[in-house]
Each structure stands twice: as structure tokens, then as C-alpha cells.
């Protein structure tokens, strides 16, 4: 976790130092400090680290769950032009944070602490509101007497380090960090505005507005403990009785609606729990809760136990739990994916293939199933089917870097060098790694195979990548 954050801070400083050299004098408008294009450049720097960091959850089902939840809320945000990206940090503390460029991170600890999907949505709505109301740029704009470069750098450093305030001392002197922290923490007005806008987003998107009150009230109990033991969200977004009262009054003004959670919410929580600690400790936790009937949803608990058994390579017991789910649980795509993975893990490719095809017929755009089937085709040496499958799905997920990695592997199996390097280049490009993308596209251009049409596409794309990289170089030199 520490390594990821420090790397992020380094990237931020590199981007921000470029912007600082050519920014005008500070004024009242946050737009004069950081333009939309500059914010997106910062967002790319963040996402470049997110794409390769081991501290970020890379499970596509967890990623897509949060992305879909976030996008549902964004559709009802007041700024329709703002781009958003969501990611999950493998961190047990209860926290979420918004960064410049509409990048929002959520800790696994927050998802696990939530009692309903609406509670997670309430925090996401709050963070989305911080972005749409431009709270961070507005705070930076107020620091008129300080160096822009210093203010921007420290602001982003502190924002990334919110889950662990002591991390700031690793990037700057403690005295400087503490001084700017007081200036850049969200103000009471910012928090109230994020509550108000976030609540509107939450309810307009069809979630339970009461969840914001219930989750904030739950977190406020942490104030009984020491500052270090309190949930991180309390330290970065202080929750006052006044704020809870204000939200309670808003809830009273809205019509009561019974909101049913997305069934995937409880399965995602169980999947995250099953990934915690050692495989044996995860198994022990689920076995104990099932034995003592300490659960809200038995199907989700059984799913978690099956996932933990899979981690432990205890496939016999994992199959027992999967069979229980087939009989007793409602059909769910996460259960379908787990069932397919079990057949692959137990070396039953024919059964796995049959299950993947049936599941994809029901859930044609579920990326975990697409990934699994494409990988299975590669495993049974049918790369042409991987290529067809991925190309059929690229119009839905054109920015999925793993799709291009799968294509690269499939072309490699077919001995198609140009297409292999071309696909790998596109994979790097979608990870915001332009130098590696150019390198791979150059390999493609030098390949001896490929027809005239394919070579023309590669040469044209290589020119585009080089031009885009030159623009970034110009910014870096300014």
C-alpha cells in the first residue's frame, strides 16, 4: 500500500510541476488554476499506476460492480461532461476519496462495512459531488499567497495519503504537510454541499436516501475512539451531528421507498472477505459463520466459502458448496462464473466450455465470463476462437487492455507477429503507457509478415502514437 501511494505521489508531482510553470496568477476561479485538460492528464497519471499496482483490486467482477454502481450515480450528477473512473483499493480501513480528474477510489473496508448497496452508493454520491462541485480546485485557488507548484503538489499528496496522514511526512517535511493540511481539508461548507448534492444524486438514481444517514451515523460511533482508531472517512470528511441532522431532515422530505439491493452486492462482499488473510483463515471464518448461523444471506455465505475453498485448492469442498448454490440459490452471474472456474481448475475443459457458452448466452456482456472463455480457448489451443470472441466484444469494451493482451497471446499462438505486436501495443496504450505502446507498434511495423492493408494500419497508428507522445514531451519541457 505504501509503495503504491508513494509512486502515485511521484507521478502527481511530475504532472503538476509541468502545469505550474505556465499557470497564470491565482484568481477566484478554480478554472484559472487547473484546466479540464490538465485534470485529465493528472487522471491518466493516476490510472497508469492503478493499472499495474498490486495494491489495487484487479478482480474484474469487483471492478465492474463498482464501475456500474458509480456510473449509475454519475448519470444523475449535475455535471454531465465530467469523466469519472472508479477503482478499489485493497485496504481494510473504511475510506473513499476523490482526486482531480474525476478519479474515485474506494477501500475494500468501506464495502465490507456497508450494510446495504445504498450505503456504498451514498458515499460514492458524496465523492462524486466533491468532483462535480470542484471542491479541490476551489480550495487550491484560495491559496493565493503560496507557490502554485507547492500547493498543487501538496494538495494531491495529501489527498492520496488521506487514509494514512502520516504518509505525508515521507514526501515533504511534517511541518509543511501539517500546515497545508489545515488549509486544504474539505471545509464544513464543502462537506455540506457534497452531502446535499450527493443526496440528490443518490435518490435520483433510485437508491435509499436513508442509507446516507444510517452509514454516517454508524461511522460517527468511531469518534468515541482515538483519532488513530477512528474510521478514515471520519478524519477526511468529519461527520458532525449537524450534518446528520441536516440529512435526516432531507430524508423526511422525501417519499419513503422500499429499495431492493442488487443481489450482486452480497456476493461481492463475500468475494472480498474470501480474499482476506490466508486461505485457511478465510475458510475458518465462513465455516464458523455458517455453523453458528451468523449471516444475513446464506447463499452469499456459501458463495464466499466456495471461493475460499478455491483459494485453498480444496476443490472437493468447493464443489459441494457450488452444488448447494445450484439447488438453493437464485441464479446469479457470479455463481455462474465461479462454477466455470471450478471446472477449469479441476481440469475439465469440456465441461467448462459447455458451462461458459451457456452462461454467456444468458449474460453476454459479463467480462469475467468473456475473459474465462477466451483463456479457455487459448488453453485448449483454439486461438482463432479467442480472436473471434474478443473482436465480437470489443465494440462494447473498446478500452479494455486485457482484451488486447488476450488477442496478442492468440496471434502469438497463430504465429502472426505483426498482429501480436499491434495488439500488445494497444494493450499498453489503454494502460496509459505510451512509450511501451510505441515500442510494440514499432516491432509490428518491422515485422516480416502481414499484408499491405495490415501494414498500412500499423504505420498510421504508429504515427498517431508518436504524435501524441510528442505533445506530452512538449508539455514536459515547458
d(CA 418, CA 311): 38
Helix (H), strand (E) at residue 72: helix 60-74
Kindly report the length of the chain: 478
Radius of gyration of the chain (CA): 24
75 is written with which cell numbers? 448519470
- Contact (Cβ atoms closer than 8 angstroms) between residue 338 and residue 307: yes
Structural element, H or E, at residue 99: strand 96-99
CA count, 13 A, side-chain hemisphere, 152: 27
Find the Cα–Cα–Cα–Cα dihedral 429, 434, 439, 444, rounded to 10°. 30
Contact between 234 and 153 under an 8 Å Cβ cutoff? The reply is: no
Closest CA to 202 of 146, 152, 129, 135: 129
CA atoms within 13 A on the CB side of 32: 12
Joined together, the cell numbers standing for residue 45 give: 497519471
CA distance 161 to 166: 8
Q: What is the pLDDT of residue 243?
A: 75
Are 267 and 334 in contact by the 8 Å Cβ rule? The answer is yes
Between 315-328 and 298-311, two packed helices, what is the crossing angle to 10 degrees? 160
Taking each helix axis from N to C terminus, what angle separates 333-345 and 367-379, rounded to the nearest 10 degrees?
20
235, containing H or E segment:
helix 232-236
Q: What pLDDT, on a 0 to 100 scale, did the predictor assign at position 393?
A: 98
For the chain, the first-to-last Cα distance in angstroms comes to 32
Could you tell me how far CA 292 lies from the centroid of its own chain? 34
- Alpha-carbon distance of 383 to 387, in angstroms, equals 6
Residue 26 gets the label, from left (phi > 0), alpha (psi -120 to 50) or beta, of: beta
Half-sphere exposure of 120 (CA within 13 A, CB side): 29
pLDDT for residue 54: 85
Are 427 and 401 a contacting pair, CB within 8 Å?
Answer: yes
Number of Cβ within 10 Å of residue 14's Cβ equals: 12
CA-wise closest residue to 199 among 99, 129, 132, 261: 129
pTM of the predicted model as reported, rounded to 2 decimal places: 0.84
17 closest CA partner among 178, 185, 176, 147: 147
Integer Cα distance of 437 and 426 in angstroms: 6
Cell numbers placing 306: 466456495
Walking along the chain (478 residues) 10 residues at a time, the average pLDDT comes out as: 49 44 43 70 82 89 97 94 92 86 92 94 94 80 53 48 43 42 61 90 93 80 44 57 78 78 94 97 98 95 98 98 97 98 98 98 98 98 98 97 98 98 98 96 96 97 94 61
Contact by Cβ (8 Å): 302, 274 = no
Can you give the pLDDT at residue 432?
92
H or E stretch covering 192: helix 188-204
Q: Do residues 420 and 441 make contact, with C-beta atoms less than 8 angstroms apart?
A: no
Amino acid at each position: 500500500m505504501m509503495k503504491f501511494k508513494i509512486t502515485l505521489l511521484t507521478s502527481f508531482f511530475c504532472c503538476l510541476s509541468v502545469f505550474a510553470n505556465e499557470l497564470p496568477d491565482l484568481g477566484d476561479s478554480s478554472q484559472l488554476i487547473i484546466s479540464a485538460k490538465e485534470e485529465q492528464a493528472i487522471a491518466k497519471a493516476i490510472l497508469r499506476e492503478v493499472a499495474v499496482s498490486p495494491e489495487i483490486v484487479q478482480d474484474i467482477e469487483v471492478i465492474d460492480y463498482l464501475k456500474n454502481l458509480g456510473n449509475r450515480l454519475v448519470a444523475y450528477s449535475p455535471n454531465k461532461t465530467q469523466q469519472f473512473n472508479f477503482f478499489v483499493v485493497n485496504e481494510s480501513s473504511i475510506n473513499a476519496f476523490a482526486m482531480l480528474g474525476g478519479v474515485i477510489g474506494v477501500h475494500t473496508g468501506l464495502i465490507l462495512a456497508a450494510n446495504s448497496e445504498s450505503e456504498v452508493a451514498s458515499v460514492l454520491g458524496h465523492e462524486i459531488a466533491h468532483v462535480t462541485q470542484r471542491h479541490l480546485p476551489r480550495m487550491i485557488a484560495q491559496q493565493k499567497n503560496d507557490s502554485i507548484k507547492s500547493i498543487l503538489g501538496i494538495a494531491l499528496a495529501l489527498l492520496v495519503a488521506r487514509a494514512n496522514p502520516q504518509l505525508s511526512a515521507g514526501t515533504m517535511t511534517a511541518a509543511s504537510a501539517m500546515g497545508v493540511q489545515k488549509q486544504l481539508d474539505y471545509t464544513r461548507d464543502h462537506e455540506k454541499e457534497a452531502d446535499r448534492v450527493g443526496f440528490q444524486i443518490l435518490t435520483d438514481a433510485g437508491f435509499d436516501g436513508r442509507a446516507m444517514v444510517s452509514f454516517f451515523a454508524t461511522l460517527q460511533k468511531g469518534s468515541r475512539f482515538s483519532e488513530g482508531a477512528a474510521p478514515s472517512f471520519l478524519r477526511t470528511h468529519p461527520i458532525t451531528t449537524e450534518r446528520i441532522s441536516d440529512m435526516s431532515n432531507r430524508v423526511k422530505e422525501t417519499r419513503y421507498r422500499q429499495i431492493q439491493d442488487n443481489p450482486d452486492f452480497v456476493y461481492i462482499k463475500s468475494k472480498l472477505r474470501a480474499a482476506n488473510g490466508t486461505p485457511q483463515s478465510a475458510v475458518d471464518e465462513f465455516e464458523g459463520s455458517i455453523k453458528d448461523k451468523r449471516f444475513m444471506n446464506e447463499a452469499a455465505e456459501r458463495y464466499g466459502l466456495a471461493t475460499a475453498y478455491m483459494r485453498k485448492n480444496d476443490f472437493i469442498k468447493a464443489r459441494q458448496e457450488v452444488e448447494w448454490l445450484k439447488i438453493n440459490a437464485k441464479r446469479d452471474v457470479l455463481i455462474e462464473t465461479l462454477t466455470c472456474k471450478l471446472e477449469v481448475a479441476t481440469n475439465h475443459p469440456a465441461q467448462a466450455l459447455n458451462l461458459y457458452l451457456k452462461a454467456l448466452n444468458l449474460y453476454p456482456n459479463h467480462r469475467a465470463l468473456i475473459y474465462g472463455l477466451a483463456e479457455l480457448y487459448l488453453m485448449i489451443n483454439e486461438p482463432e476462437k479467442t480472436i473471434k470472441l474478443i473482436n465480437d466484444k470489443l465494440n462494447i469494451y473498446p478500452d479494455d487492455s486485457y482484451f488486447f493482451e488476450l488477442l496478442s497471446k492468440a496471434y502469438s499462438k497463430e504465429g502472426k507477429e505483426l498482429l501480436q505486436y499491434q495488439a500488445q501495443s494497444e494493450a499498453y496504450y489503454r494502460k496509459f503507457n505510451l512509450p511501451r505502446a510505441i515500442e510494440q507498434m514499432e516491432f509490428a511495423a518491422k515485422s516480416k509478415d502481414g499484408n499491405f492493408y495490415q501494414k498500412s494500419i500499423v504505420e498510421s497508428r504508429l504515427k498517431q502514437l508518436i504524435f501524441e507522445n510528442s505533445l506530452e514531451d512538449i508539455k514536459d519541457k515547458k
